[in-house]
Amino acid sequence: MKRKIVLLGATGSIGTQALEVVRAHPNRFEMQVLTAATNAELLIQQALEFRPQAVVITDEGKYAEVKAALTGTSIEVLAGSAALEEVVQYDGVGLVISALVGSAGLRPTIAAIKAGKDIALANKETLVVGGQLVMELVSKHGVNLLPVDSEHSAIFQCLVGESNNPIERVYLTASGGPFRGKDRAYLASVSHEQALCHPNWVMGAKITIDSATLMNKGLEVIEAKWLFGLEARQIDVVVHPQSAVHSLVQFEDGSIKAQLGPADMRLPIQYALTYPNRVGNNFKRFNFADFPSLTFEQPDTDTFRNLALAYRALELGGNVPCILNAANEEVVAAFLKGGVGFLQMSDIIEETMATVGHIAKPSLDDYLRTDRESRAIAKALVIKNKTYII
């Protein structure tokens, strides 16, 4: 039987690549629901190709456009963010791919888990914001939580067959982004256009900026803690400019396993969709001749302070990672509009973390309130500090 899939975030970078995987295996998968935030045009094209049971456009102002385009089909058209929590609970859904951007992924992912649906998680912010709550629900409802991020998929693959062997340490690899090796004087005047030029990966704007600031790696450190039950001291980041080794696991005997492959997100996406099986494809194969040397170095956390801030948030725990994430989303949005400097993003995040109250054991409502408060403070700091404006 075909596996029925709900794809949250169908028009983004991960979503469109997930549909490439589905397109390559029409006998294995069926798209039951497709969702998009604002890209109505692409959502309509996808719906007409894949003929899902329903589509959701969360921008309610685009509902009429999508509805008119799909009139005459059997596709149900829904609008608004609340609809995301509804569609993940549909009967017959075998897997929910959470490829939303930012903390918007938390509530629909929780709804899917409570409904007993397996999750392919590409939305790391879900675990950054509410990792303890989410993992408790995963355990309670007995669902599979399958990582899609290339780094976490690599760790997950290295752990297959190692259930009785404790992890000593994991190493998350980072490309270093477009500004690897640059100093603070250089970074003080970089533009968002420069920051969007990632050397190895093709990704959405927000995650590309996060890669340039090393915040993406910081969020992945927090995600790894929850996915694999680790302490902060067990998670290291190493800069690996070639992006050939996607992450490594060291066991208590000192042995290290690594997962290698091309810089192609379709590979971890397909593994999450087909787990525990591996399925053939015609994707580009890894060629060692293309990589005569593989290098590794320590990240510069004095210059790229976001990684250090993420470790601090992880160590403080509670709602602090939620504060970190909310502030980061706001400053990245401001940076993309030219309203904040590259280096000042870290300053605002740090000040927001120091301002919002710490809650040691937050509930879902606590997380949501923390998210709102942190965003308001970060936005105010962008506006208030005129020296941030470029």
- Three-state secondary structure along 359-380? CCCCCHHHHHHHHHHHHHHHHH
Q: Give mean pLDDT, residues 12-23.
A: 96
Cα separation, 354 vs 340, in Å, equals 19
Mean pLDDT in residue range 361-368: 94
Instruction: List 55's β-bridge partners, or say none.
Output: 34, 77
Position 131 pLDDT exceeds 70:
yes
pLDDT tens-digit series, residues 305-320: 999 999 999 999 999 9
As given in the structure block, the two tokens for residue 350 are: 């740090």
At 265, the pLDDT band (50, 70, 90 cuts) reads very high
Q: How confident is the model at residue 40 (pLDDT cuts 50, 70, 90)?
A: very high
DSSP of 4-17: EEEEETTTSHHHHH
221 touches 235 (CB < 8 A): yes
Averaged pLDDT, 128-149? 96
Would you state the pLDDT for residue 209? 93
Between 186 and 390, the more confident residue is 186
pLDDT at 199: 72
Task: Please name every residue paired with 297 in a beta bridge, in sequence order, or none if there are none.
Answer: 239
> Residue 386: pLDDT above 80?
no
Average pLDDT, whole number, for the chain?
A: 95
- Residue 262 neighbours by CB distance under 10 Å: 17
Tell me the C-alpha distance between 83 and 199, whole Å: 37
Give, for 98, the enclosing helix (H) or strand (E). strand 95-98
The pLDDT score that the predictor gives to residue 351 is 97
- Cα–Cα nearest to 21, from 30, 34, 33: 30
pLDDT at 262: 94
Strands 235-239 and 167-174: parallel
Percentage of the chain lying above the pLDDT 90 cut: 91
Q: Output the pLDDT for position 389.
A: 44
pLDDT at 203: 73
Residue with tokens 């045009």: 41
Give every strand in the sheet of 245-251, ordered side by side: 235-239, 167-174, 245-251, 256-260
47-72 mean pLDDT: 98
In a 3-state reduction of DSSP, which class is residue 284?
coil
180 residue type, one letter = R
Side by side, which strands form the sheet with 118-121? Answer: 76-79, 54-57, 29-36, 3-8, 95-98, 118-121, 145-147
pLDDT-based confidence at residue 197 (cuts at 50, 70, 90): confident
Q: Where are the beta strands (DSSP E) in 235-378?
A: 235-239, 245-251, 256-260
256 phi, psi to nearest 5 deg: -125, 130
Residue 390 confidence (pLDDT) above 70: no
Rounded Cα–Cα distance for residues 306 and 186 (Å): 17
Mean pLDDT for the stretch of residues 73-84: 97
Which residues, at least 6 apart from 363, have a Cβ–Cβ distance to it below 8 Å? 133
Tell me the C-alpha distance between 123 and 13, whole Å.
Answer: 12
- Residue 388's pLDDT is 46
pLDDT of 10 > 50? The answer is: yes
Q: Is 249 in contact with 240 (CB distance < 8 Å)?
A: no
Q: What is the mean pLDDT of residues 148-167?
A: 96
